[in-house]
Amino acid sequence: MRNRFFLSALGKLFTGPKWASARPDVLLKQALLFNSLLMLGAVAIAYPVAFYMLTQGLSAPAVLVTAGLALAALALVFHMRRAFEWELTCQVVLITLVGSALSLADPDIFDFGLAITLMATLMALLMSQSRRKHLAWLAPVIAIAMSVGGYAGHIPNPFTQNGPDWLFLVVTVYLAAALVVAVTANRLNTAALVRGRSNLSTFSLLVESVKDAVVRYGANGSIFFLSRSAADLFNCQRYELDGNGFFERVHVMDRPAYLAALSDASKRGLHTSVEVRMRRDGEGGKAARFIWVELSLSPVIDDAEAEVREILGIIRDISDRKQAEGKLEKARVDAEEASLAKSRFLATVGHELRTPLNAIVGFSDMMHAGIGGEPSPQHKEYAALISQSGHHLLDVVNMLLDMSKIEAGKFEVQAEPFMPASLIEPCTQIVDKAARDRGIALKVEIPAALPTLVADERACRQILINLLSNAVKFSHDGGVVRLAMKRQGKMLLISVSDSGIGMKPETVSRVGEPFLQAQDGLTRRYEGTGLGLSIVKGLVGLHRGRLDIASAPGMGTTVSVLLPLDGPESTHGGTIEPLHTPRPTPDDETKWLQDEKRSAAR
């Protein structure tokens, strides 16, 4: 089996596969095997000469050749066991041993022995993958030490002095070592070429396999490679994209952007991306059409010269994405037009309704007051119902008009300084009757002195009325509604809290949407248009303030508003700290379980 191994190895070395077609690791292993066989053959040839010298009384050559034979044989054993680092170690030690012996035999420091040990070091540095390969520098150090020791007489010379026979032997050993290093260097060079070709083949296979097209530009912007997928992308032959063929497919309107991106990549070394339209040939006689593509350019920079060597580009078809973006943009425009039409409709209808409603409310109040004759009790009750319904409908119309003004950006804020405490009494009087009818207590908590607020007083009053109305409307009978104000930095914090039914998290996240109602249809328990908090949010936004809502089902709701003290144009910021956080009581939880279906949006 060993004979077959050596014959097979020799066959691979001299008649096997071509070096250029082999793998790099195989080439390196073959180089190690060749070196081991060469050393074994050289030692075998030198053995008879050493034996002859032994008969002449010179034993050092025989010992040296025997050690060399053992190292060469051990290297082959390591190769059979695939311990290639140890095989290389045996070869380096053998060359170092021979070079050191020759250095000892020749008293000169710079001789063939030193040159041979330097070859051993070079071979170790070229082929070894071990971290300890730098120890090979000990080889020339040992050779120099041998020469110096022999020259100084500290190390006895076991060899005879130089003569014609030694010169022939030294030259032979030097040529053998040079041959070993030359074969190693040649194999390493071939392995590097094979590795480069393999990497290029792998890159080409990868480029041709990806769906996106790949293009390579020169430093001057000229194209010298296009993947096969580029021809598939533009439904043409690859040669049709050569020269100016690729550039001519770029839409005329997009060529400046294409050239600018290419210039940024080649001149400035920037990674750029550009979206352009490019012509795609039709199929089956159909006309050509333009498709949207995204071209991502990445410069390849030479580190040594800090210059762009070439540019890699990735071309991706984004027509579907552009079409989806177009649909979204059209939907957005349509939605904005619909919203504008809705606002105009609400404004028109509101103005048309307010005039007759004012007449209805006014005449019903006159009938109830007895102007024009004392009505009967039943007629007086009817007049009160008409007035109540008319006022309710008039409030709805006014809210619609305010909302349409805010959405249209026609609500003008008249900011003037006033005392925030002046808002409390008129606002609480409006909701006082509704609160007393249901046994709800209104509690006001404000400090003794509040700073002056620069804002639209009418808008602030409307904010507070809407917040108090909502709190009363959605509180349980006999509950408590708290109103608090305090200064928070450069802001005024207004907080209205209740212990009512609360809102679900998904409803809280949508607060501010017009006409939002958590309870839809005819089964809604609470009346309202869902515009209250929408108007509050809009008015707060016009003042450059902030709105925060803390709520949970069965735990009530706390609405906090931050308004800048110095007016809408001042710098604002900060975190809202609610003055009251609703906490459920056992009675509240019981009411919530009984009235879970009563949850409504504001």
Report DSSP letters for 514-558, one per residue. Answer: TT--SS-STT-SS---S-HHHHHHHHHHHTT-EEEEEEETTTEEE
Average pLDDT on 267-288 reads 87
* Residue 108 banded pLDDT, cuts 50, 70, 90: low
pLDDT at residue number 14: 41
* Residue 341 banded pLDDT, cuts 50, 70, 90: confident
What are the pLDDT digits (tens) for 553-570? 878 888 899 999 888 875
| Phi, psi for residue 9 in degrees, rounded to 5 | -65, -45
pLDDT at residue number 259: 92
* Residue 503 banded pLDDT, cuts 50, 70, 90: confident
Separation CA 301–CA 344 (nearest Å): 60
Instruction: Give the CA angle between residues 89, 90, 94 to the nearest 5°.
Output: 115
- Please give the sequence-ordered ranges of beta strands (E in DSSP) within 71-146, or none if there are none: none
| Domains in the chain with CATH codes | 2-205 (no CATH), 210-317 (3.30.450.20), 324-408 (1.10.287), 416-598 (3.30.565.10)
Average pLDDT on 277-297 reads 88
For the chain, state the CA radius of gyration. Answer: 48
Report whether pLDDT(586) > 50: no
pLDDT at residue number 203: 62
Separation CA 173–CA 182 (nearest Å): 14
Report whether pLDDT(592) > 50: no
Partner residues linked to 290 by β-bridges: 279
pLDDT at residue number 205: 64
Separation CA 202–CA 196 (nearest Å): 10
Q: What is the mean pLDDT of the chain?
A: 75
- Provide the pairing of β-strand 480-488 with 441-445: parallel
Contacts of 169 (CB under 8 A, 6+ apart): 46, 49
Considering only CA atoms, which of 449, 431, 482, 464 is closest in space to residue 563? 464
Q: Which residue has the higher pLDDT, 508 or 83?
A: 83
pLDDT at residue number 293: 93
For residue 554 the two structure tokens come to 């069965």
Contact 576, 486 (CB under 8 A): no
Contacts of 367 (CB under 8 A, 6+ apart): 375, 379, 380, 383, 386
Average pLDDT on 43-49 reads 76
Lowest mean pLDDT among 381-395, 445-459, 573-587: 573-587
Considering only CA atoms, which of 123, 104, 109, 106 is closest in space to residue 178? 123
Q: Please return the burial class of 151, using the count of CB atoms within 10 Å of its CB with bins 0-12, 13-18 and 19+.
A: middle
Average pLDDT on 72-80 reads 85
What are the pLDDT digits (tens) for 164-220? 455 555 566 666 667 777 777 666 666 666 565 655 566 666 666 677 888 888 888
pLDDT at residue number 255: 93
